[in-house]
Structures are given as structure tokens and as C-alpha cells.
Amino acid sequence: MALRKLLTLSRRPPLLSGRFASTYAVAALANPAADAPSLAKPPVMLYDRLAEAVRSKIKRLDDPDPRFLRYASPHPTLADHTPILAAPETRVITLPSGLRIATESTLASRTATIGVWIDAGSRFETDETNGTAHFLEHMIFKGTESRTVRQLEEEIENMGGHLNAYTSREQTTYYAKVLDKDVPKALEILADILQNSCFDEKRIERERDVILREMEEVEGQTEEVIFDHLHATAFQYTPLGRTILGPAQNIKTITKEHLKNYISTHYTSPRMVISAAGAVKHEDIVDQVKKLFTNLSNDPMTASQLVAKEPAIFTGSEVRIIDDDIPLAQFAVAFSGASWTDPDSIALMVMQSMLGSWNKNTGSGKHMGSELSQRIAINEIAESMMAFNTNYKDTGLFGVYAIAKVSQFSVMYLKYVKY
């Protein structure tokens, strides 16, 4: 009996006085169940309340509202984001003639770019015809059987479009940038100039002078000259060592027959890719190409077969041109790189970004860019530097181009090699 009384007294709440007593009384009246015999709860500390709040948040994260689990889980998991990164999808189709069509549709756009990419450049020329690909690029805009030069220019200008071209060692490209409603017209113009160009003798003579003046301008650009010499010494006695413009003597002797023969030999369906991006529909582009590009040569010879016949062989060598009138030394050092399809080409692209570039005249400061750029800038070793990575079908060039004072030339070279 005495033991039962002691247990009952221990279960009763402690006697409180003043403000705390009234507060407890109100709580007791509001909750009659509190009078039931039960163990008294210990006082809750502030830290315990915070801990309880954190535990409740964690619980909500572990067991979230099912509405948020409709499409995903709150827990991190490995996922393949390739479809997202590859958007918009590139659709490629090959026609029976060998002509390839590639499109990327972004229908929310109001503009589009259409281009014709041809495996034809200075690499596929001979010593006698070197420069023909670039000469042809100039002449292709000088009128067709149905359009004069003026009509061609007015059509492009009236559309508010842009028509251009360029030639490299392995490719020649013609492209147009237009509004979405003018895509069919731009494609028709590209088909016309590539299949029906008229090479007027007077136009050829006039363009010959233009190219010779262009050659003089290029020879005044030291960077262009350096890279031409780099290719000439790295790929000695191979087609890849030729320049894009060709020698002046060839430019003076190129004729209408040379141009027509080059088109029939190299502007063939298996060596062309027609690409379109922006406000285009794949099916529409394919239908238009089938109707417009009908006069192309179907010669089955591909650029890869031509490259296999005359592969580019890298030769470790050097060439030096001394000109005491130039206050700065300019140099390019390169190693044998990777082809477009070589898996190492991606690694070399990353390395190029890591090496970076820097120019004293840009005003970007000495602490921007890669580690190599910062060292060169802080120690004032060079005026500028640039890493480059050039890919070709069977080889490539990877290296750095820099401009430095003569006194710092050797330091710059050793810094790059050590890095």
C-alpha cells in the first residue's frame, strides 16, 4: 500500500508557482488526458528542438510528397543525358547517287543556313594545277546560264541573305544564310552555281588579277606565311604540303578548261554533303535536293581513296627565314597530330584548350587563361601565344604558335617543350 502511494506521487507533476503554475493549469485544462496516469516528459531543450526539426526535414526528403515523384526520384542516380546533349537531332540520309544530306531542325528559329561541303581542296591538286580549287571558288559566283552576276547579287540582297564560300586544303564550302521563307530559293541558287556556272574568259582574266592581289596581301600576313611553311616542311613532297592559293605562275596560266575539268573530276555526288540547320524540315530539304542536284558527276572515286593513293607523311624538320627588319621573332612548333576519325583527336582538342592562348594586346591581364598562358604573361616571355590542333583525313598537326622578342625566343621554346 505504501509502495503504491509512492509510485502515485512520483507520477504527479511538480508543484509550480506564479506564472509557470498558471500556464501549466491552462494546459492541463485544455488537455484532460494529461490527468491520466502516465510518465512525465522531461523538459525539452532548445538543442533538442533543433535536432528534431532537422530529423523531420530529413524524413520528408526520404519520404517526399508522391506528387514530386511522378517523373523523377529525389535520390541522385546515374543517367544517360546523350539525347538531351544531342538535341536537336542530326538526321543523315544518303541518296542512290552517293550524295549525302544532313539536317538539324530548330523550328523555333526564323533563320537557316544551307551549305554544300565538298571533299575538294589543294590536297587533291597536282603541282601543275595547284591553286585551281581556290580559283574556282572565286569564279563560281560570276554568273550561270540563267543568271548574270548582277542578277545573282540582287537576288541574295533582296532576300537579305548572305552567300559565301571558302577553300581549305581538303574542303571547299559554299553556304547561304537566309530567312526561313527563303530556304528553297537559297538551295536553288546553290544548285545553279555549282552545276551551271559560265566561265567567261573576261571574267577569268579579271579574277586572275584579284587573286594575285590577294596573294600579295596574304604574303604580308606573317601568321599565314608561317603556317604555309610549317605544312611545307612537315609534309614534304606530299600534296598536303601545297599552299591553298597555289604559286603565282599557276594562277597566271589557269584556263577555263582547267576549271571545268576540276568540276567534273572533284565536284561529284559521293564527295558532297548538303547540310542545313535552323528553320528547316528534313523531308523538305531531301525532296528539293533530289529535284535540283541532278547534273552532278557520279564518279565513284572518293576523297579517302585519293588520300590512300597519296598519303601525307610527317617529316620532322625545320625551316628558318631570317629578316633583320622584323623586330619580333615568330615561330610555330608542331608534332604529328591525329586524323578526324582518330580517337586521340578528342584528347588533343582538350589539350589545346588546356594550353590556351594569350595576347598582350587584348588587355585581358596576366592572370587569365591557362597555366602556360599565365607563366608566359607574368614573366613577359612572349607577346602572344596560341595552341593549335589541325585535323586532316589521315593525319594532323598539333603545336603552338608564338611571337616573342629575339632575346626571349629560346626561353619561350623551352617553356613550351617543358610544359
DSSP category for residue 204:
H
C-alpha grid cell, residue 261:
575539268
C-alpha grid cell, residue 165:
564560300
* Opening angle at CA 401, ends 400 and 402, nearest 5: 120
- Report d(CA 57, CA 25) in Å as an integer: 33
Which residue type does 147 have? Answer: R
C-alpha grid cell, residue 346:
578528342
Among 104, 125, 170, 207, the active-site one is: 207
Q: Within 10 Å of residue 341's Cβ, how many Cβ atoms? A: 10
207 is catalytic: yes
Q: Which helix (H) or strand (E) holds 389?
A: strand 384-391
145 is catalytic: no
C-alpha grid cell, residue 324:
633583320
Among 125, 137, 170, 383, the active-site one is: 137
- Helix, strand, coil percent content, the chain, rounded in steps of 5: 45, 20, 35
Return contacts of 104-108, CB within 8 angstroms, 24+ apart.
104/276, 104/277, 104/278, 105/278, 105/279, 105/280, 105/281, 105/282, 106/277, 106/278, 106/279, 107/279, 107/281
- Among 276, 274, 275, CA closest to 106: 276
Sheet holding 396-405, edge to edge: 328-336, 396-405, 384-391, 357-359
Beta bridge partners of 385: 358, 402
| Pairing state between β 100-105 and 272-278 | parallel
Q: What are phi and psi of 332, to 5 degrees?
A: -135, 125
Active site residues: 137, 207
